[in-house]
Amino acid sequence: MTSKTLKTEIYYLERQTGEIIYEQIFAEKTLRLLYENYFGFIVFNYLLNNKTFCWLYGKYQDLPLTRSQINKFVRRYQIDIKETELPLKNYHSFNAFFSRRLKPNARIFTTESNIFCAPADSRILVYPKLTAETQIPVKSSSVTIAELLNCEKLAQIYRQGSALCLRLAPYDYHRFHFSDTGKALPAKYIQGKYHSVNPLALAKVCNIFSLNKRMVTEFISNNFGRIAYIEIGAFTIGSIIQTYTPGIVYKGQEKGYFQYGGSTLVLLFQPGTICFDDDLIQHSLEGLEVYVQAGNQIGKKNQIQS
């Protein structure tokens, strides 16, 4: 066993009902073996935590033979198939289902310009004001924005700003969207590792966000200033796919999607541009993630710009 005691259970708040939910950890036995077992962690780091293994695993999930996993996956995690764009029989592989689109209007983004909507189905934590050192707390440690962005100069734009962390479980809808209308610059790829982003892994390796491969997009929002979108890959993530075209984009427009595996989004905001909803601030102070869906209101435009 490792010398560090890890949290054995994970809970989050279902915002719509107010219920505290025990999270079913995808591939829990494997994840605990890799992160809670001393020898398992060594095997993971030397043999599995690399581009080649994750690419091969992603390609395997593209094969037609993986279609047999879909029905079992849907039943176990109670996925609402009434929302999916296609009938289950029309998905040619597990990866095709994993990165599924939803039916039109399954996720509604309000047209009110002062409302900031969640860009993805996820469990979120909000950070209304980052420290002068531009750090985002992650479990028992913290990650600097410069490390996250891989750019000290870009990090200064968000000094003492705000941050939003969105964690997607493997059974979530894995496409992400723009939360406002504005201009999106081309995404920049940052090479890195392939750690899981589950809280079990974050408890073991606290700087995963700055270690993993990721993509950074600078977005000049019409109503919320400059925003950095950071898509963070994870263990067995085959690819982070960008589907938008750089230039003018619109609120609710799809930005891209993750292929197989759990994953995380981090959004960084300039100081004084957004006011997160009070309930999210309070729960984040308690360390309790809140589940929201893409299009749900999570904040408002700060009417008094600092």
Q: Looking at the annotation, which residues are catalytic?
A: 121, 177, 263
**DSSP state string for 176-245:** EE-SS-EEEPPPEEE--B----SHHHHHH-TTHHHHB-EEEEEEEESSS-EEEEEEE--TT---EEE-S-
Confirm if 105 and 85 have CB atoms less than 8 A apart: no
Phi (first) and psi of residue 165, to 5 degrees: -110, 125
CA–CA gap between residue 48 and residue 281 (Å, rounded): 37
Give the SS3 label for residue 263. strand
Name which of 301, 305, 295, 300 is nearest 105 in CA terms: 295
Instruction: Identify whether the C-beta of residue 265 lies closer than 8 Å to the C-beta of residue 239.
Output: no
